Chains A and B, each alone.
Chain A
Amino acid sequence: MNAALVIAAKDLRQKLRDRSVLLMAVAAPLGLAFLFSMMIPDQDTFHATYAVVDLDGGAVARGLVEGPLAGLQDAKVATLVPTATEAEARAAVKAGDVAAAIVIPAGFTAAVEAGATADLLVIGGPSTLPAEVARSVLAAFGSEVTGIQVAVHTAIAAAGARPDPALAAEVAQGALAAPPQILVAAAETADRSAGSKTFYGASMAVMFVFFAAQFGVLGLLAERRNGTLVRMLAAPIAPATILLGKVIVSLVVAVVSMTVIAFATTLLLGANWGDPLAVAALVVAIALAATGIATLIVGFARTEEQAGGFIAVVALVLAVFGGSFFRMSQAPEGMAALSILTPHAWFLRGIDDLSAGGGIAAVATPVAVLVTIGLVTGGLGLARARRVVAP
């Protein structure tokens, strides 16, 4: 073990001097995580500020402001800024102080109560998404109001009474104020997926950890090419010690790569990887899996170049099928099913669970699967790699 650590320490010293390791293990995944999280906004964290101009002040207008719009604010999806005039609202949108403005014109309540057409105005800014969200909310409110109008008039007509506008308005206001009778249960289908910054931080980290893990075991073939392997074999150490030293290097580089990316995306992007202890368990497990697969490939390769090429292909294929580039929830059904064969999918599943507030117990299955992958592939790889050091 002592000689294995001596070999590992020497290799790590060499890797630190080799900037390509820093590029592949840290800079590239971190850069891509930044890029992807900027290009693809996090839908779970949508938020917009709206100017709300209530020129009506009537009951239905209040129902809109205190109902659906206040609901957006309560859900932390929107911030409402009461504004006195339409001109002020337009100026705020133009200045970028608000993402969009919602204008309730004077006479809105009266028009609704009279069963006439009532208009609502949405003033959009440069980004279309906040205005679209506002239009959707107002359209839903309009549908609700229309439904109530129809119901009230139908009830009055059925009672045989003469239409009484005051009564109809009173009944309609009561209906608007009443809580909805049908609630869509959300608890069971709550989205457990991590935010985009966490997702892309983790997905890029897991993709590049396979490149990081190659540096140790690939060193075995480099030693053979450089002629230094024969000198190591001439030393009074067991040949397996050399293999162990290389595996230690792969594990260390992989763990350091993942850890740096987790810290960097947390501090710089605000990613939320979850419980540190559970994250550490996942990181060690994926490092083991990546090292095992890299060892298996090296075991079958004849040269460094061949092994490096195989590892690159395997890393990219696993990344595509494992969900490193897009969430598996957006993938075709068959592909999502296939993803469970990849370490990436298990790792990202663990990160999703941790982002949703889970602890070490939540990642027990992903950790167990990843460790199993690492031990099986690593064991087979070491058995094959023994031929490199066998006398």
Chain B
Amino acid sequence: MSLSTSERAVIPAGPVLVCRDLRKRYGQRTAVDGVGFQIAAGETYGLLGPNGAGKTTSISMICGLLRRDGGEVVVAGRPVDIGATGAKAAIGYVPQDLAIYPDLTARENLRFFGRLQRLRGKELERRVDEVLAVIDLADRAGDRTDRFSGGMKRRLNIGIGLLHHPRLLVLDEPTVGVDPQSRNAILSSVAALEQEGMAILYTTHYMEEAERLCDRIGIIDEGRIRAEGTRRELVALVGGKDRVELTAGGTTVGPATAALRALEGVEEATASDGRIVLVVEEARHLLPQILETAAGAGAVVRSVEVVEPDLEAVFLHLTGKALRD
């Protein structure tokens, strides 16, 4: 999935999305309570939280679909206000549920939503063809979508959001109910769009997706962002350390273990049954030195596994409950 050269040339610096202190109440229940973050061009921001955490309510306010009780949203320098359509033209919204017409073909769906995005004539046809190629549905463009597989429908659902070259792409749990193969294709596509300079807001309750895709992650629960940062920053919040497991052969692992324990950055080293387990600060940075030290101590390393603390642990630490509760 890639955009044309001309699209990349118009991407300005600075945040594409700025939202501050978003608030929304339904009666006595507070759905969103002071949510705020920014997303720059070429950045993917993940809102990670369980169902009912306030993710969809937040992005509905960001896209101008829901009246907010408080706060401010600015997209591409334009405020998102009720009745104002300017900022909406900069947003590509992909709703969680499929939003396509089953009795229209893929091309007819794209044409219709393209026209609503003010595309006309040859430009519309060019963009429809480009998007069909991007979502790999060019050969099924003339088929009614009720004959599509679930994955094909999901791809079309995303493609519609890309038609008008949005500066900000908002994806609301786009992989819910998708088979593993299609899910992988969708995640790869999103990563490619980020590379092309699009700002992406990605909501999910799948920790793996947030870890794989997002440059920064906001952990949201009960309408509030509990923590925000890169994955490493979030893990650091809870004092998480990496674990490195080495399987060694040749000589005994005792000398290698002792040598590794003395290595700067290694906090703990234990050995048992030909395995050496290390607790370190930055496993990925330290790994070359670890392998070199082990080899220098006579160990023949057959396999290495790095286990980093994950967002599940962070979420549990911050909220006291599991992510999928």
Contacts and interface: CB of A to CB of B under 8 A. Distances in A.
Contacts of A234: 63-65, 88, 91, 93, 95
A236 B66 CA distance: 15
B100 A233 contact: no
Interface stretch (A28-36, A57-65, A116-124, A224-232): A224-232
B116 A3 contact: yes
A231 B88 CA distance: 11
B86 interface: yes
Interface string B101-123: 11110001000110111100000
A333 interface: no
Interface residues on B, range: 20 to 34
B65 A237 contact: no
A237 B85 contact: yes
B212 interface: no
B116 A14 contact: no
B103 A231 contact: no
B219 interface: no
Contacts of B100: 228
Contact of A236 (B82, B98, B103, B118): B118
Contacts of B89: 236
Interface in A1-24: 3, 6-7, 10, 13-14, 17-18
Contacts of A390: 67
B300 to A, nearest CB: 58
Interface in A212-255: 226-228, 230-238
B117 A235 contact: yes
B97 interface: yes
Contacts, number: 67
Nearest to B66: A391
A75 to B, nearest CB: 57
A231 B113 contact: yes
B116 A232 contact: yes
Most buried by B among A3, A7, A10, A236: A236
A284 to B, nearest CB: 27
Contact of A230 (B83, B95, B103): B95
Contacts of B118: 236
A230 B83 CA distance: 15
Contacts of B115: 3, 6
Given A6-B112, A231-B160, A236-B117, A226 B66 contact: no
Contacts of A7: 116
A233 B65 contact: yes
B295 interface: no
Given A18-B103, A237-B116, A13 B85 contact: no
Interface of A: 3, 6-7, 10, 13-14, 17-18, 226-228, 230-238, 390-391
Given A7-B116, A17-B103, A238-B83, 4 more contacts: A14-B101, A231-B95, A231-B99, A234-B95
25 contacts: A3-B115, A3-B116, A6-B112, A10-B112, A14-B103, A14-B104, A17-B103, A226-B99, A226-B102, A227-B98, A228-B99, A228-B100, A232-B116, A234-B91, A234-B95, A235-B88, A235-B113, A235-B117, A236-B85, A236-B88, A237-B85, A238-B83, A390-B67, A391-B64, A391-B65
> 8 closest A-B pairs (Cβ-Cβ)?
A236-B85, A235-B116, A234-B93, A231-B99, A236-B88, A236-B89, A227-B97, A227-B99
